[in-house]
Amino acid sequence: MNRVAYQGTAGAYSHLACTRVFPEWEHVACEDFLGALDLVSGGFAERAMIPLENSTAGRVEEIYRLIPRTQLYVTAEHFEPVNHCLLALPGVAMTDLEFVRSHPQALAQCHQRLINLGLTPQAAVDTAMSARALADNQDRRSGAIASELAAELYGLNILHDNFQDVMGNTTRFLVFSREEEHKEYNPENNYLTSLLFSVRNIPAALYKALGGFATNGVNMIKLESYMDGGTMEASHFHLDIYGHPAETPVANALEELAYFAREVRLLGSYPMHHYRNNAAFV
């Protein structure tokens, strides 16, 4: 059976994303992101499901430092809406609860709901681990904020679905593989291309490196800078653009980038996720 690796405890939102994209595969939990990527590099897993950014919390900075250290390719993106659920033991009512445990970020995203119900938040390592701990300790005064998958896995009841204060919180994941996919351009698909590059710390270096995308009409949708842990002589960037290298404007823009930049590395081209049809991306 094929395997997909993810960081976190069973029932975490990364696990939920795996069940959406790879429902028939084995889902392998890892303690950290590097462990998940290493399982793919070593051949134990075929894919890794890694969160890159969240619409509320922003980018997952650690990932930008890890990607350059691997030789993996990006083969897909996935957007997973974050639906926080207030969970409790079977037979426990909302009025029985006094405390709620979860990851600090989840508690913050449900802050007003907790205040309205008079519940005391308690920070934990992650959402799914909070659900598992509740099932283990059988504390009928406590609830947990976690996913619907965590409720199913640990035999908990969902007291309140969509418990977050603001709707629309979404995490973008990238899927990593040992082999590059989508080398051939299919005109029926809309593509994204992800790449890494660096420029020397000299005046207008970034401006010159990116100028070809403007002159060739290629839309840049994400540009992130990061430190690679080496010297301070070069600035490193992660770039997402619309299009496929087989398209002439993209090919010309990448050629200009290679001229002005250094260490350009294509992470992969992949079909755009249907979530991008949302008006927020127009």
**How much is the pLDDT for 105?**
86
Given this chain, do its domains 85-160 and 191-281 carry the same CATH topology?
A: no
CA angle (158 as vertex; 154, 164 as ends), nearest 5: 115
Among 22, 173, 176, 197, the one annotated catalytic: 173
Nearest to 67 by CA among 51, 83, 82: 51
Secondary-structure class of domain 85-160 per CATH: alpha beta
Question: Does the predicted TM-score (pTM) go above 0.85?
Answer: yes
Q: Is pLDDT above 90 for 278? A: no
**How much is the pLDDT for 280?**
52
Q: Is pLDDT above 60 for 95? A: yes
Q: Is pLDDT above 60 for 281? A: no
Q: Is the dihedral of CA 179, 184, 188, 194 positive or negative?
A: positive
Is 139 in a helix, a strand, or coil? Answer: coil
- pLDDT tens for 154-179 read 999 999 999 999 888 899 999 999 99
Among 171, 176, 193, 260, the one annotated catalytic: 171
Q: Rounded to whole angstroms, what are the CA distances from 69 to 38, 66, 73, 102?
A: 10, 5, 12, 31
CB distance 192 to 241 below 8 Å: yes
**How much is the pLDDT for 201?**
75
CB distance 71 to 41 below 8 Å: yes
Give the residue-averaged pLDDT of 114-120.
97
173: annotated active-site residue: yes
Tell me the fold of 191-281.
Alpha-Beta Plaits (3.30.70)
Average pLDDT in the chain: 93
- Token representation of residue 259: 């001229």
pLDDT-based confidence at residue 282 (cuts at 50, 70, 90)? very low
**How much is the pLDDT for 232?**
59
| Architecture label for domain 3-82+170-177 | 3-Layer(aba) Sandwich (3.40)
Q: Is pLDDT above 60 for 254? A: yes
Domain ranges of the chain: 3-82+170-177, 85-160, 191-281
CB distance 72 to 37 below 8 Å: yes
Give the residue-averaged pLDDT of 81-110.
95
